[in-house]
Structure 1
Amino acid sequence: MPSVRRTVAAVSVLAAAGSTAAAGHAEVYAPPAPAPALSAPALDARYQATARDITRALATAERVGDKGRKRALSALLGPGRRFLSFDPRGGGRAVEVLGDLKHADRIAVVVPGADNSLANYDSPKFVGGGGRALYRHVHATAPGARVAVIAWLGYDSPSTLSTDALTSGRAENGARSLERLLTGVHRVNGRARFALLCHSYGSVVCGKAARRLAPLPVDEIALFGSPGTTLRHVSDLGTPARVWAGRAKGDWVRYVPNVRFAGLGFGADPASPGFGALRFDAGTGPHSGYLRPGSLALRNLALIALGRDTEVTHA
């Protein structure tokens, strides 16, 4: 398959260059301290423990002169921000809660794709900024709704310039982490319904997690900007949830070959009619613009998060 071989060759060269640039960077950040297990009584203690982890990481960034990480961590400690988990090692992990997790009727989880890290977490193009845009739009659309949003950088997001972005290894690990998160959040709030909003490589994570999450009250899964899920049809996800798919007209991912060969690639296009998902109109924006304020994609994803399926604009 020439297209796969060309893609692998190009990515391998870029990955080698990236790893050379990163060589010699010492790992100076300590792992997070043990935190209380997720439960309703322990939720505030969990928030406090995670804030202490972020504070320790900020002190390390100041000590070693890591200016980029210092700016990012200072923002995470801003007033009113709450995190279920945090890990500063490597590219970093952070799982932020927007809204009242204990009393929400619906909880939307934003599952990001490649190139997400602590350094760009709050950018509008990445999971923290996108999660806030979703939260604001949901509450502008339905001011009285009890909806929380989780911005989930809970796995090692691959670099686009690496072969990891062509295989499902990171997604397998991410699926296990996502299952642990939702199981814990379900202990915190046993009545809330979940919506998974899965962007780009994050749709591979959700594809791997869907069957694992079938016992939990996940009733909406949206795959957008997706290169594939490694599965051929929506029925292969093994989920009772409604599965949506959308691709913006300006998204470069439409040029990614929808093949799977020798563990490379992700197979069928979820936004194609043959996959069998409900197709929502994702507008005309770029790959990084699905959660951009004012976009048609954000409007429809907010309606999916709310469970207001009849109001979603179909492709």
Structure 2
Amino acid sequence: MESRPRDSGPRSNGRRHRTLLAALITASLAVPVSGAARPAAVPAPAPVVLAPLRAATPAALAERYAVNLAGIRAAGRMAADHGDRRRAAALRAMADPARRFLTFDGRDGGRAAEVFGDLSRAERIAVLVPGSDTSLDAYGRFRAGAATLQRELGDGAAVIAWLGFETPGTVSAEVLTPGRAVDAAPRLQRFVRELSAARPCLQRPACSTTPGKIGRTGPGPTARISLLCHSYGSVVCARAASGLPVADIVLYGSPGTGVDTVGQLRTRATVWAGRGADDWIADVPHVRLPLLFTTVGFGTDPVSEAFGARAFDAGGGGHSDYLKPGSTSLRNLARIVSGQPPSEGGRHA
């Protein structure tokens, strides 16, 4: 993958890992946190409390979309009154009547779940879980990737961009520890279980009919749901994986998951892992170091044979290129979501 020489041998690798990890921690702790207004400092109204989505019918979804659109507009007005032009502009874009949000909460940095495609008729659903530096203020790349994936999947598929937690900064102490993932995992579990219960499949061949394995328990099939987890999002998905009613858990651009093997995820889903040949995440040390109040690092490399995931070819792209139009990674992610084997290619480790 790389032309530059590497140290060889366990001692050299161990030294390299410790040195790089120390540099990451030092850089993270050296970043000032008081210079600019934190996203959580932007006020927003409390969202309307909605009952769980019982059925993803067009009428029920339209009602939910309307409620969240009103909440986005209210948050935009409050951000403008507060003088935060960046947040206000982001919320004005989100308030486009053509956009559809299953959830929205503008408080504490912001949470949202945006739908691409017709969820009421989708046979295949991909839930995207983002990595670091994703927020309402920096939402464009995440949204663009979700829209691109939905176009690649085509009719009969929906993609949900799930920004359901406060992501860590790429250069921060939090990005090296599981704290944000611990907080996010129960939210992701609730979201996916509600989605599975509400989204019956229309065409039986496209869905699982095995109660308790994929989809809701009880009679009738459900849509095929896949979790696509990028970067730090893979740590969140690993924490949430146990018992989730999903067909696939896909880890890409992952720094590790916090467990050593797929078996420790305690999931019946098929676990996939891929990494682009030019992704800098390959140089993040795959170690876990217990400290006084937390653990630093996420352990085994998900694309390694030791982890035990099914490898897929992610092409030659970098850390932000997995959903790039025309890419190998996009094509293979779409194939996995559709229940098809990814195209063959080399393991990019």
Deviation at 1:136, TM superposition (A): 0.9
Aligned to 2:229: 198
Deviation at 1:310, TM superposition (A): 5.5
Residue identity matched to 1:275: F
Specify which of 12, 18, 29 is matched with residue 44 of structure 2.
Answer: 29
CA separation in 1, counterparts of 2:20 and 2:41?
37
CA separation in 1, counterparts of 2:249 and 2:42?
36
**TM-score normalized with structure 1 length:** 0.90
The aligned runs of 1:148-187 (5 Å cut-off) are: 148-187=158-197
Aligned to 2:264: 236
2:289 partner SS: coil
* 2:39 and 2:108 in contact (8 A); partners too: no
Specify which of 219, 223, 245 is matched with residue 273 of structure 2.
Answer: 245
Deviation at 1:178, TM superposition (A): 0.7
The aligned runs of 1:83-94 (5 Å cut-off) are: 83-94=101-112
**Greater share of helix:** 1
* 2:248 and 2:269 in contact (8 A); partners too: yes
Deviation at 1:208, TM superposition (A): 0.7
**TM-score normalized with structure 2 length:** 0.82
Specify which of 247, 270, 279 is matched with residue 311 of structure 2.
Answer: 279
**May I ask how many residue pairs the two structures share in their alignment?**
302
CA separation in 2, counterparts of 1:283 and 1:117?
27
* 1:137 and 1:302 in contact (8 A); partners too: yes
Q: Which digits, 9 at most, give the CA deviation of each residue in 1:152-188, with x for residues without a partner?
A: 1011111112211111111112111111111111222
Residue identity matched to 1:228: G
Over aligned residues, Cα RMSD in angstroms? 1.9
CA separation in 1, counterparts of 2:74 and 2:311?
44
Residue identity matched to 1:10: A
Aligned to 1:11: 28
CA separation in 1, counterparts of 2:174 and 2:197?
33
Tell me the percent identity. 46
Q: Which digits, 9 at most, give the CA deviation of each residue in 1:82-115, with x for residues without a partner?
A: 1011111232111001122222111110110100
Deviation at 1:12, TM superposition (A): 0.8
Closer, same or farther: CA 282–64 of 1 in aligned 2, 3 Å: same
* 1:207 and 1:229 in contact (8 A); partners too: yes
* 1:226 and 1:247 in contact (8 A); partners too: yes
Deviation at 1:273, TM superposition (A): 1.6
Segments of structure 2 that go 5 or more residues without pairing to the other structure are 1-17, 201-221
Aligned to 1:142: none
Residue identity matched to 1:69: R
Residue identity matched to 1:206: C
Segments of structure 1 that go 5 or more residues without pairing to the other structure are 140-144
CA separation in 2, counterparts of 1:253 and 1:88?
30
The aligned runs of 1:64-75 (5 Å cut-off) are: 64-75=82-93
* 2:103 and 2:113 in contact (8 A); partners too: yes
Residue identity matched to 2:22: R
1:308 aligns with 2:326: no
Specify which of 242, 251, 263 is matched with residue 211 of structure 1.
Answer: 242
1:51 aligns with 2:69: yes
Specify which of 322, 326, 345 is matched with residue 294 of structure 1.
Answer: 326
CA separation in 2, counterparts of 1:81 and 1:238?
36
Deviation at 1:311, TM superposition (A): 4.3
Closer, same or farther: CA 68–234 of 1 in aligned 2, 3 Å: same
CA separation in 1, counterparts of 2:40 and 2:173?
21
Aligned to 2:8: none
Residue identity matched to 2:103: S
Closer, same or farther: CA 259–24 of 1 in aligned 2, 3 Å: closer
CA separation in 2, counterparts of 1:18 and 1:165?
14
Residue identity matched to 1:57: A
Deviation at 1:288, TM superposition (A): 0.8
1:81 aligns with 2:99: yes
1:37 partner SS: coil
